[in-house]
Amino acid sequence: MTFADLGLSDQLLRAVDDSGYPEPTPIQRAAIPSILMGKDLIGIAQTGTGKTAAFVLPMIDILGHGRSRARMPRSLILEPTRELAQQVSENFEKYGKYNKLSMALLIGGVQMGDQVKALEKGVDVLIATPGRLMDLFGRGKILLTGCELLVIDEADRMLDMGFIPDIEEICSKLPKSRQTLLFSATMPPPIQKLAAKFLNDPKRVEVARPATANVNIEQRLVVVRGDKKRDALRDILRHEEFKNAIVFSNRKTTVRELATSLKRSGFSVGQIQGDMDQSDRIAEFDRFKKDEINILVASDVAARGLDVKGVSHVVNFDVPWQPDDYIHRIGRTGRAGMTGIAITLATREDAEAVERIEKLIGHKIPRAGEVAPTAAPAEDAPPAEPEREARKPRPERKPRGERKPAAAKPEPQPEPRDEPVPERSLVVEDLKNEWNGPLPGFLSQSAG
Ligand code: AMP
């Protein structure tokens, strides 16, 4: 099947052609014709599957007819994070270059003035994070009664971040006759409820998780003592034949400290985490995209959905607590048909988190390197309790200005997570031993 078979306009086909995509991805094949017919849709797909184009392309054609009116956007796309909102707007620019559509981005962390000005002129597409949208709505700067098309993207992430009540409120302010598209990597019960309440006889489209289906990502797990993680990371960055890497950590403080420590060791490093201003995050991300730096230390929230082609390595400095974060993280590499390597550093305390990830992905992550006999107990390892970022609502309301050093102000504690924090039992047999020496042994080992 080609893009031309999907019923898209000639202008769009030209823009798609310019992007160099040979054929539509499965989510695009399944979703685009239905969306063009005006149907509601539930798309169970995650980043990396081409899902953004699956809704942006038909939207451009649908919105090609009709005109915008002041303060009344014709369509609304809700995104959980500023970065994702930004990327969706870039997609509109890319695919909409032969169409004349107006667009506004409503995200926290940037000046509201320009956003309001754009809205007042009238826009065809409004891309927003729920917090900022509710804020402007409350000030009477925006009317949603002309909004005929709603996209709720990354719905399960919205749930994690506490945005569902906002989304319900937003949905209730839109015309009932609208078209609604909901995308989510998973469908936990609250999202099913949301869909049942606000979608009308939706078509359901499900595509394989890219990480489980993506044979282009070579995964490895390195079992290491907590106090040796930085050495292990440095070794990976020095010895692996890597072009560039995104290094993930569970905590904002670790992101900051790690970026500083790697810089001190002579690496070309940037960071992206939830305490940074939006403009700083974008600047760091751009430096990484332009190869001005080749290591980006990141937290999950800040890095959610980041799309950079040709990331050769993802390193999980910490094992993520949420198994689906693992899939999102490693999905930053092996994109667009390229190969990538994902290395996870795990301590003994991570045994259960690793097990939950393996259950989700359906296979064991190949262990890398030789496992030394049991080393000293890792009392000196960092605490296993997650001081997570952003399982809390409205993460984008961070004030601008100087950031205090970590020691001056403790990180805010996260909201309790939905699922119980597992006991720290050593359930995974081979995590009973941990690697405690120099790394080269595992570097040559292929983990197929
Ligand atoms: P997404 O799932 O929207 O995050 O998209 C992941 C990546 O796939 C982006 O870099 C897109 O530019 C790219 N992409 C989207 N559609 C296609 C396609 N039909 N063929 C190849 N790459 C695509």
49 lines ligand 1 (CB under 6 A): yes
CA of 247 to the centre of ligand 1 (A): 22
Q: Tell which atom from ligand 1 comes closest to the C-alpha of 91.
A: 12
CA distance 366 to 376: 24
Interatomic CA distance for residues 56 and 183, integer angstroms = 12
The C-alpha atoms of residue 23 and residue 86 are separated, in whole angstroms, by 25
By alpha-carbon position, which residue is closest to atom 14 of ligand 1? Answer: 50
Instruction: Tell me the CA–centroid distance for residue 352 and ligand 1, in Å.
Output: 33
* The Cα angle at residue 266 between residues 262 and 267, in degrees rounded to 5: 60
Statement: the pTM of the whole predicted model exceeds 0.75: no
Distance CA 23, CA 49 (A): 13
12: its two tokens: 């769009």
Q: Using CA atoms, how far apart are residues 102 and 121, in angstroms rounded to an integer?
A: 9
Displacement of CA 24 from its chain's centroid (Å)? 22
For 49, counting Cβ atoms within 10 Å of its Cβ (0-12 exposed, 13-18 middle, 19+ buried), the class is: buried
Residues 6+ apart with CB under 8 A from 437: 372
Domains 3-206 and 217-370 share a fold: yes
> Ligand 1: which residue has its CA nearest to atom 9?
50
Q: What is the side-by-side order of every strand in the sheet holding 245-249?
A: 217-223, 340-346, 313-316, 245-249, 295-299, 269-272
Taking the CA of residue 327 as centre, how many other CA atoms within 13 Å lie in the half-sphere pointing to its CB?
25
Whether 52 is in the pocket of ligand 1, judged by its Cβ within 6 Å, is yes
Q: Does residue 244 contact residue 294 with C-beta atoms inside 8 Å? A: yes
Closest CA to 74 of 145, 13, 158: 145
CA of 376 to the centre of ligand 1 (A): 46
**Whole-angstrom Cα distance, residue 58 to residue 124?**
13
Structure tokens at 44: 């169970």
Cα gap 285→296, rounded to integer Å:
8
Helix (H, G, I), strand (E, B) or coil at 200: coil
Q: What torsion, rounded to 10 degrees, do the Cα atoms 331, 220, 266, 253 define?
A: 70
Ligand 1 atom 8, closest CA: 50
What is the maximum span of the chain, computed from C-alpha positions, in angstroms? 70
Determine the 3-state secondary structure of 92 from DSSP. helix
Interatomic CA distance for residues 166 and 175, integer angstroms: 16
Residue 177 tokens, joined:
């006759």
Q: Give per-residue pLDDT as tens, 93-122.
A: 999 999 989 999 999 877 778 888 888 889
Instruction: Tell me which DSSP letter residue 226 carries.
Output: G
3-206 placed in CATH 1.10.3720.10: no
CATH number of the domain at 217-370, out of 3.40.50.720, 3.40.50.300, 3.90.1300.10, 2.70.150.10? 3.40.50.300
Is the CB–ligand 1 distance for residue 50 below 6 Å?
A: yes
DSSP for 398-427 reads: PPPSPPPPGGGSPPPPPPPPSSPPPP----
* Shortest-distance Cα residue to atom 18 of ligand 1: 21
Q: Is 51 in the pocket of ligand 1 (CB under 6 A)?
A: yes
Tokens of 413: 């504690």
* Ranges of the chain with pLDDT below 70: 209-215, 240-241, 302-305, 335-337, 369-448
One-letter amino acid for residue 348 of the chain: R
Looking only at the bridges linking them, the beta strands covering 295-299 and 203-206 are unpaired
Cβ(102)–Cβ(124) below 8 Å? yes
Using a 6 Å cutoff on CB, does residue 79 contact ligand 1? no
| Nearest-CA residue for atom 15 of ligand 1 | 50
Q: How many residues does the chain have?
A: 448
Distance from Cα 444 to the centre of ligand 1, integer Å:
32
What whole-number distance in Å separates Cα of residue 44 and Cα of residue 186? 6
Token pair listed for 305: 């959905």
In degrees, rounded to 5, the angle at the alpha carbon of residue 301 between the alpha carbons of residues 396 and 346 is 150
d(CA 46, CA 183): 8
Q: Is 441 left (phi over 0), alpha (psi -120 to 50) or beta?
A: alpha
Give the pLDDT score at 305: 65
**pLDDT value at residue 337:** 64
**Residues 295, 292: Cα–Cα separation, whole Å:** 9
The residue whose CA is least distant from atom 6 of ligand 1 is: 48
By C-alpha distance, which of 212, 158, 235 is closest to 359?
212
pLDDT score for 206: 92
Distance 101 CA to ligand 1 centre (A): 21
Domain residues of the chain, as ranges? 3-206, 217-370
Q: 19 CA to middle of ligand 1, Å?
A: 10
State whether residue 180 is helix, strand or coil: strand
Q: Is 389 helix (H, G, I), strand (E, B) or coil?
A: coil
